[in-house]
Amino acid sequence: MITKKDVQYIAHLSRIHLAENEAESLTKNLEGILTYIEKLKKLDVADVKPTSHVLPLENVFREDVVRESLSQNDVMNMAVEKNKGSFKVPQVIE
């Protein structure tokens, strides 16, 4: 059973602001999704191999070879606020 409190907690962890009516409709949505999961849980999967990934691939590697990085200028062009070549963000610690 999903409550509005759960939804607000998850929204907070994800730093998403929800209006009151949004929280209510999302609670119903999530409840629906979880009901569906309950259905899946009832399936017999004894013969299905456990998987951690949807693609039938493994061991995709990269050699340890240096590639050119972006310039500081290019990176700073993406910054909303900047200072001395660094991203400027609200103060995190006093």
Partner 1 sequence: MKNYETVIGLEVHLQLNTKTKIFCGCANTFGQNANTLTCPICLGLPGTLPVFNKEVLKNGIRVGLALNCKINSFVKFDRKNYYYPDLPKAYQISQYDFPIAKDGYLPVQIDGQLKNIGITRAHMEEDAGKLIHDSEIKASLVDYNRTGTPLVEIVSEPDIRSPQEAYDYLTSLKLLMQYLDVSDCDMEKGSLRCDANISLRKEGAKEFGTKAEVKNLNSFKAVKSALEFEVGRQKKLLDSGERVVQETRLWDEAKQITLSMRSKEEAHDYRYFPEPDLVPFTVDQKVIDAARKALPEFPLAKSGRFIKEYGLSEYDADVLIQDKNLSQFFEDCIVNYNEPKKICNWISGALKQELNAKKINFPEAKLSVDHFISLIQKVDDGTVSNLAGKDVLKIMLDTHKDPNAIISNKGLAQVSDEGALENIIAEVVSENPQIVEQIKLGKESAIGFLVGQSMRKTQGKANPKIINQMLKRRILDV
- Given a contact cutoff of 8 angstroms between Cβ atoms, the answer to whether 79 and 73 are in contact is no
Q: Which position among 43, 45, 66, 80 is part of the footprint of partner 1 (CB under 8 A)?
A: 66
What DSSP character marks residue 56? S
In three-state secondary structure terms, 82 is strand
- 19 interacts with partner 1 by CB under 8 A: no
The stretch among 6-14, 17-25, 32-40, 41-49 that binds partner 1 (CB under 8 A) is 6-14
User: CB–CB of 31/6 below 8 Å?
Assistant: no
Shortest distance in whole angstroms from residue 76 CB to partner 1: 7
Residues belonging to the chain: 94
Distance CA 40, CA 30 (A): 15
In the complex, minimum distance from the CB of residue 31 to partner 1, in angstroms, rounded to a whole number:
19
For binding to partner 1 (CB under 8 A), which residues are involved?
Answer: 9, 12-15, 52-55, 57-67, 69-72, 75-76, 78, 81, 83-93
